[in-house]
Amino acid sequence: MGRRYEVGVIAGDGIGPEVAEAAIPLIEKAAVAAGAEIAWTRYPWGCDYYHEHGRMMPADALDRLAPLDAIFFGAVGRPDVPDHVSVWELILPIRQAFSQYVNLRPMRLLPGVSTPLAGRGAADLDMVCVRENGEGEYSGLGARYDQGTPEESAEQIGRFTRRGIERVVRYAFSLAASRPRRLLASATKSNALQHSMVLWDEVVREVAADFPEVEWRPYHVDALAARMVTHPDTLDVIVASNLFGDILTDLGAAITGSLGLAPGANLNPDRTHPSMFEPIHGSAPDIAGRGVANPIGAIQAGALMLRELGLPSAHDALQNAVEQVLTEGTVRTPDLGGVAGTSEMAEAVAEAM
């Protein structure tokens, strides 16, 4: 046996455990075939835990996760727990404590999957969003004032730091430089957000000077969203702030077939703490418990994890198996127009491997 990796699993709520548990045996199989071994530790944190203990995860959660090689995450959130609790008490603390400042979200149209953009250069749809994952609009700063009075108001402060922008933009430029087309689009809105986005633009321009081989340009985020629909073939790497990246990647998932297919990685590129891998979708309460959730987003997130752990052949084996199953098209979950369940879809991928 080669290297042994310690991976923590936070399967979470709703379809989180359904897709995570479907993906885990496949990730394991790919790792073992590459001569590695994965030891999985499951943490029962999320909304059930919240109802029992009044918090989404225990006080020492971050200490327990810190020594791991990676975290595999399903989804958290349920209608009986306020959304801001599930996000602010579990996902964001992990992303921030572990300096997972890059949220990497590939948006690629896989073979055999149909897109609502048919005929718009969509066949070549192969983009990746590098979303800032630690500050900006999701810094949590702000307050509500005069609650319940006619004078009520609220402030939500987007706090951007030069260091925070620089490190994610640098990651995005290096990624663009490593891809065949070497294109980078920066999502901005400096016409309306005259402090934060002007700083963003300045830093992007400075970092760009170190990557003369990358062709880049800024787009106002509204125009970029439109371009993703009208000319997606002209886009390659997109670098965006926390909020803009959140929105653009749901759009990206929609135009590449289904939210259920899209993977994401919360990366600590400096490797000082574990990175966290997840499907980009949420807990999908509307379909939870029915065994029909598409596990491909979670499986592809597992493939990204294998690649980041240093097992590129395991990544390729898993990714090729996914693409083979989608190309054949006989086993499809309802979001892709089929009738297969979560486990059938995962079994088809296992067989293809």
- Binding flag, residue 130, ligand ATP (CB under 6 A): no
Smallest separation (angstroms) from ligand ATP to the CB of 296: 8
Of 74 and 282, which CB lies nearer to Mg ion in the complex structure?
282
Rounded Cα distance between 19 and 16, Å, is 6
Rounded Cα distance between 349 and 109, Å, is 18
Q: 199: which residues sit within 8 A by CB, 6+ positions away?
A: 160, 162, 165
Burial group, residue 183, by CB count within 10 angstroms (0-12, 13-18, 19+):
middle
In this chain, which of 12, 164, 297, 302 binds ligand ATP, going by CB under 6 A?
A: 297
CA distance to 17, 79, 122, per residue, from 284 (Å): 11, 10, 27
- Binding flag, residue 189, ligand ATP (CB under 6 A): no
Residue 155 phi/psi, 5° resolution?
-125, 135
In this chain, which of 60, 212, 286, 330 binds ligand ATP, going by CB under 6 A?
A: 286
In this chain, which of 139, 188, 275, 283 binds ligand ATP, going by CB under 6 A?
A: 283
- Nearest one of 134, 17, 133, 9 to 75, comparing CA atoms: 17
Region near ligand ATP per CB under 6 A, out of 42-50, 108-116, 215-223, 293-301: 293-301
CA distance to 165, 170, 188, 211, 239, per residue, from 206 (Å): 11, 10, 15, 10, 14
Rounded Cα distance between 258 and 333, Å, is 10
Q: Following DSSP, what letter does each residue of 220-239 receive, concatenated?
A: EHHHHHHHHHH-GGG--EEE
- Binding flag, residue 281, ligand ATP (CB under 6 A): yes
Binding mask 279-318 for Mg ion (x = CB under 5 A): ---x------------------------------------
Of 158 and 282, which CB lies nearer to Mg ion in the complex structure?
282
Annotate 158-181 with b (16+ C-beta within 10 A) or e (fewer).
bebeeebbebbbbbbbbbbeeeee
Region near Mg ion per CB under 5 A, out of 6-14, 138-146, 166-174, 277-285: 277-285
Region near Mg ion per CB under 5 A, out of 8-16, 20-28, 278-286, 293-301: 278-286
Smallest separation (angstroms) from Mg ion to the CB of 169: 24
In this chain, which of 158, 305, 335, 345 binds ligand ATP, going by CB under 6 A?
A: 335
Smallest separation (angstroms) from ligand ATP to the CB of 333: 6
Residue 12 site contact among ligand ATP, Mg ion, none (CB < 5 to 8 Å, cut-off depends on kind): none
Enumerate the β-bridge partners of residue 263: 279
Q: 147: which residues sit within 8 A by CB, 6+ positions away?
A: none
- Binding flag, residue 77, ligand ATP (CB under 6 A): yes
Q: Residues touching ligand ATP: how many (CB under 6 A)?
A: 16
Of 282 and 295, which CB lies nearer to Mg ion in the complex structure?
282
In this chain, which of 26, 240, 259, 301 binds ligand ATP, going by CB under 6 A?
A: 259
Contact positions with ligand ATP (CB under 6 A) in 3-62: 15, 19
Residue 77 site contact among Mg ion, ligand ATP, none (CB < 5 to 8 Å, cut-off depends on kind): ligand ATP
Asked if residue 157 lies in contact with residue 142, where contact means CB atoms within 8 angstroms, the answer is yes
Asked if residue 70 lies in contact with residue 305, where contact means CB atoms within 8 angstroms, the answer is yes
Region near Mg ion per CB under 5 A, out of 47-55, 99-107, 235-243, 275-283: 275-283
β-pairing, 136-145 with 153-159?
A: antiparallel
Q: Which residues bind ligand ATP (CB under 6 A)?
A: 15, 19, 75, 77, 259-260, 281-284, 286-287, 293-294, 297, 335
Q: Which residues bind Mg ion (CB under 5 A)?
A: 282
